[in-house]
Structure 1
Amino acid sequence: MATEIDEQSSTGPSRASRQILGILMLGTFIGFLNQTLMNTALPSIMADFHITAALGQWLTNGYMLVNGVMVPLTAFLIQRFTTRQLYLSDLTIFGVGTLIAGLAPNYPILITGRMIQAMGGGIFGPLMNVVIMNLFTVEHRGRAMGIIGLALNFAPTLGPTVSGWIVTYTNWRNLFFMVAPLILLDLIFAFFKLNNIGEQKFLKFDFLGVVLSSLGLGSLLVGFSNAGTGNWGAFDVWGYVLIGLLITAAFVYQQTHAKLRLVNFGVLKYRRFNVAVLINVVLMIALYGGAILLPLYMQVVMGRSAFESGLVLLPGSLITALLSPVSGALYDKYGARNLTLVGLIINAVGTIMLGLLNFHSSLLYIMLWQVIRQVGLVIVTMPIQTEAFSALPLHLIADGSAMFTTIRQLAASFGTAVLVTIMSLVSTNVAHGGAVTANHQLVGIQVTYFVATVLVLIAAGLTRLLKVDGHYHAPDDKFA
């Protein structure tokens, strides 16, 4: 284990630990920013390369797909390679993909650049989790994860606003050229300041596990992405989902019966890890699905521009940035149970008030309740993630991080598909077979926000399963 852990005092982490945290935060911020950076730029890219919206959506969906497929591999990669080897390699891969995409003369090369980006970006989050759990003592993990929450929570919501401004006033290629200097800067810092954390294990590569997990998770993510149209009866939705479930089941069987494993499913024997994962699943279904509703309301119902839609989201993003470190410190002091409950109730209030949107709602009203919603979100996300990892012994953190992240991405993708489907079905039914108008769309959005509220309240009820003090020291007992 790295010496930085030993250098920590009762007053806080060492300077070296804080430097490593800063390096990881910048890389994670860049990776998560790129998940949503393309959303607003899509119309400009479609016009330049003369492609359809269905094809253009893969700039975002494809990125998230490759990201998701990479996550199960992270448990092996993090243990097989040193921290420096893995992080420097991932930054380099991400940088190469960024340059390819920025200079792309046609759409296939642009997609290739995005896929290469995703291969590097998929490692940042899980690697960050493992390093923090190894680097910081129990008393300081919440604060460290809260700081990292700047990247996890702030970057995806900032992406559409930044993208809208750049595309409106410059060229979409600057979305990539803007990121390139940040990657180079982080690469330089990491080369000189990043130390190896944890112990390197010379594991054998589970080729069959990689194939099964990639095909299974990939099929599920594609199916859920296609379900965003609301047509679950189409083969490219239920077919991919069914194939994904069957292959994923085969992957789980293979992993629990083979000596050579890609992911250790033993993490699921820890009750408190399972509780935190369950709460996070319900929360992700509600929040990621709900996140798509506000831009739809702004642009489809109100007729506002994508840039204006991004500006409405900006105050909530800024609040997220300010409160992420605070939520981590509160976790260290009060634990996960009470903190998570308070955050979910706050989020539920913001969500239900957004469900009352109408044609006359002011921008101030929308901003206010979106900010309230984000306040609740930031109070919950990092504490519940810290709680999950703190329930595991250090030698299982890499596997736990891969498991937690994979399930979170599936839940987010599934949640988006389900809530968009609910919105579409309600809008269609209200139209009574006629053309769906903005008024019908508004009713669909309102009902879907209420459904999201119910899901958040279910997650709040599940917090009763968490331990009162929220802290978990030296988890030697699997069922503690």
Structure 2
Amino acid sequence: MSTASATQSGSGVDLSRIKRGPIVFALIIGAFVAILNETLLGNALPELVTALNVPYSTIQWLSTAYMLVIGVLVPVTAVLQQWFTTRQMFLSAMILFLVGTVIAAIAPGFELLLTGRIIQALGTGLMLPVMMNTILAIFPPESRGGAMGLIGLVIMFAPAIGPTVSGLIMDSLSWRWLFILVIPIAVFSIIFAAVFMKNVSEVTKPKVDVLSIILSTIGFGGVVYGFSKAGEGGWGHSEVIWAISVGLVALVIFIFRQLKLKDPVMDLRAFKYPMFALVTVLLFVIMMTLFSTMTLLPMFLQGVLFMTAFKSGLTMLPGGVVNGIMAPISGKLFDKFGPRVLVIPGLIIVALSIFLFTGFDETTSNGYLITVHIVLLIGLSMVMMPAQTTGLNQLPRHLYPHGTAILNTLQQVSGAIGTALFISIMSNGQKDYLKTSSDPQNPLEMAKGLIEGLHSAFWIGFIIALVALVLGLFIRKTKAPEGETRGGMGH
């Protein structure tokens, strides 16, 4: 599909009279409940083990299955967005999410609770790419930063308050309230979107290649599952080796097939645009760092400083709030000055704060820890949305669904890889320390072992952050391909 034809098809949907405000608001509410839900359950897992009478290895599936479903579904959204209108996609996503939430709230046992979580994840997996694609469609490149910043506020703020909110609920109510309290917000989101959501993308109904969908499901599913299991039970497990190997083989075949098809499920020709390719790698690396700190910090707070789950959630809350405030500011600055002014200093801040993490031990004060965490999240807010917007801005309009699907998929995969990698580094460091300890069962010795393991993991995190910084030096402001802006905006 040439740029010219993309431009003409871009004017197939008249966007000149569309009210952007209500559409963005509908997207923000939907995204908020869907993303909040990802981290809401973390604090409740220990209580669910007791309440549902299942082992921890089983309860982990409430988180693992959620990531797995999103990792499998997001690659297919590029095709779905060409078959169904924006309105149909968004309302379907929110209705699925609501149904899953209701099932989870009334679930009598683990099996039905897991079913509810999987249906919720189907809604979330549909929602994220639709949200980004809609922003790309309704805003011209020169004002996308501010809009993406608002979305960034939700994407970063919702998971940050998740542990605190769930800690509060778990202190005074049963785990079912984690789902019951989400239901009215989801209902409001559906009603609001039914009134204000408009279709902003053209339905082209391309031929669907079923084999590609199967390969994508096995590929991304295998990799996410393999790395998730490695985080739980170590890398030598036969299940881990098989899942990752089968996943990688399926992905290689999937990639070759996409490059040959006239209507690929995920159009990898997006990588021909150099800034999009660079940003994809940069975000993959930075997401590994983000997920690792999100996983390792609560372990440090609870395992070394002996905080309760609620207190550790409260300790991490200020960073999340500051990040949420910074995201729209970064977006506005991006529109004014371009990406370099934000991304390079942001990456330096990220690397510096992870370097400071390597000095954390049992004497670290709460105030210092909160400050370093805030600094890290300020750095991340300067990188995430500006980099993402830069990469997507370079794509022609017909590649928007594919670009957003690629970025969202790789973020899920990098999250699974990052979490598994850092947890295994930390576990091995702790084991090595305890081997040399004279009293390995002593809680204080175990905490010291945890510190050793965390230091090793944060050092690797620091090296990865330096790699991201080197990549960030090459980022440049991008322009949409010739004629895309006018045609795409339907003037």
Give the alignment's TM-score, normalised by structure 2: 0.92
For residue 462 of structure 1, give the secondary structure of its aligned residue in structure 2.
helix
CA deviation after TM superposition for structure 1 residue 260, in Å:
4.4
- 1:197 maps to 2:200: yes
CA deviation after TM superposition for structure 1 residue 169, in Å:
1.1
Query: What's the counterpart of residue 317 of structure 1?
Result: 320
Query: What's the counterpart of residue 10 of structure 1?
Result: none
RMSD: 1.6
Give the whole-Å Cα distance in 1 for the aligned partners of 2:215 and 2:126: 19
Q: In the superposition, relative to structure 1, how do residues 317 and 53 fare at CA in structure 2: closer, same or farther (>3 Å)?
A: same
Query: What's the counterpart of residue 117 of structure 2?
Result: 114
CA deviation after TM superposition for structure 1 residue 4, in Å:
7.4
For residue 181 of structure 2, give the secondary structure of its aligned residue in structure 1.
helix
Q: Any idea what the Cα deviations from partners look like across 1:93-149, whole Å, max 9, x if unmatched? A: 110010000000111000000000101110111011111111001111000000001
Q: Any idea what the Cα deviations from partners look like across 1:387-432, whole Å, max 9, x if unmatched? A: 1110101110001111111112111211111111111222222233
8 Å CA contact 1:67, 1:121 repeated in 2: yes
For residue 437 of structure 1, give the secondary structure of its aligned residue in structure 2.
helix
CA deviation after TM superposition for structure 1 residue 25, in Å:
1.0
Paired residue total: 468
Q: Any idea what the Cα deviations from partners look like across 1:341-368, whole Å, max 9, x if unmatched? A: 1111112222222221111111111111
8 Å CA contact 2:169, 2:175 repeated in 1: yes
* One-letter amino acid matched to 1:440: G
* One-letter amino acid matched to 1:39: G
- 1:133 maps to 2:136: yes
Q: In the superposition, relative to structure 1, how do residues 386 and 2 fare at CA in structure 2: closer, same or farther (>3 Å)?
A: farther
Give the whole-Å Cα distance in 1 for the aligned partners of 2:227 and 2:139: 37
Q: 1:462 aligns with which of 452, 456, 471?
A: 471
Which consecutive segments of 4 or more residues in structure 1 shift more than 6 A?
Answer: none
Q: 2:21 aligns with which of 18, 23, 32?
A: 18
Query: What's the counterpart of residue 454 of structure 2?
Result: 445
8 Å CA contact 2:395, 2:480 repeated in 1: no
8 Å CA contact 2:277, 2:391 repeated in 1: yes
Query: What's the counterpart of residue 343 of structure 2?
Result: 340
Q: In the superposition, relative to structure 1, how do residues 58 and 230 fare at CA in structure 2: closer, same or farther (>3 Å)?
A: closer
- Larger CA deviation: 421-430 vs 367-376: 421-430
Taking the TM superposition and a 5 Å limit, the aligned residue runs for 1:58-457 are: 58-229=61-232, 231-432=234-435, 435=440, 437-457=446-466
Instruction: Provide structure 2 residue ranges, at least 5 long, that are not aligned to the other structure.
Output: 1-10, 485-491
Identity of aligned residues (%): 35
Query: What's the counterpart of residue 11 of structure 1?
Result: none
Give the whole-Å Cα distance in 2 for the aligned partners of 1:5 and 1:120: 26
Query: What's the counterpart of residue 16 of structure 2?
Result: 6
Instruction: Provide structure 1 residue ranges, at least 5 long, that are not aligned to the other structure.
Output: 8-13
8 Å CA contact 1:343, 1:380 repeated in 2: yes
- 1:471 maps to 2:481: no
* One-letter amino acid matched to 2:455: Q
Q: In the superposition, relative to structure 1, how do residues 361 and 173 fare at CA in structure 2: closer, same or farther (>3 Å)?
A: same
8 Å CA contact 1:66, 1:118 repeated in 2: yes
8 Å CA contact 2:289, 2:465 repeated in 1: yes
8 Å CA contact 2:167, 2:310 repeated in 1: yes
Give the whole-Å Cα distance in 2 for the aligned partners of 1:49 and 1:169: 18
Q: Any idea what the Cα deviations from partners look like across 1:32-81, whole Å, max 9, x if unmatched? A: 11111111011121111100101001111111110111101110111110
CA deviation after TM superposition for structure 1 residue 471, in Å:
3.4
Give the whole-Å Cα distance in 2 for the aligned partners of 1:209 and 1:21: 32
* One-letter amino acid matched to 1:43: P
- Larger CA deviation: 198-207 vs 60-69: 198-207
Higher relative contact order (CA 8 A, sep 6+): 2
CA deviation after TM superposition for structure 1 residue 474, in Å:
2.6
8 Å CA contact 2:391, 2:478 repeated in 1: no
* One-letter amino acid matched to 1:439: K
Q: Any idea what the Cα deviations from partners look like across 1:165-216, whole Å, max 9, x if unmatched? A: 1011111111111111111111111111111102111223222111111111
For residue 255 of structure 2, give the secondary structure of its aligned residue in structure 1.
helix
Give the alignment's TM-score, normalised by structure 1: 0.94
Query: What's the counterpart of residue 487 of structure 2?
Result: none
CA deviation after TM superposition for structure 1 residue 3, in Å:
7.1
Q: Any idea what the Cα deviations from partners look like across 1:263-291, whole Å, max 9, x if unmatched? A: 11111111110011111111112221122
Give the whole-Å Cα distance in 1 for the aligned partners of 2:260 and 2:305: 55
* One-letter amino acid matched to 1:68: G
Q: In the superposition, relative to structure 1, how do residues 281 and 348 fare at CA in structure 2: closer, same or farther (>3 Å)?
A: same
8 Å CA contact 1:287, 1:452 repeated in 2: no
CA deviation after TM superposition for structure 1 residue 259, in Å:
3.6
CA deviation after TM superposition for structure 1 residue 254, in Å:
2.0
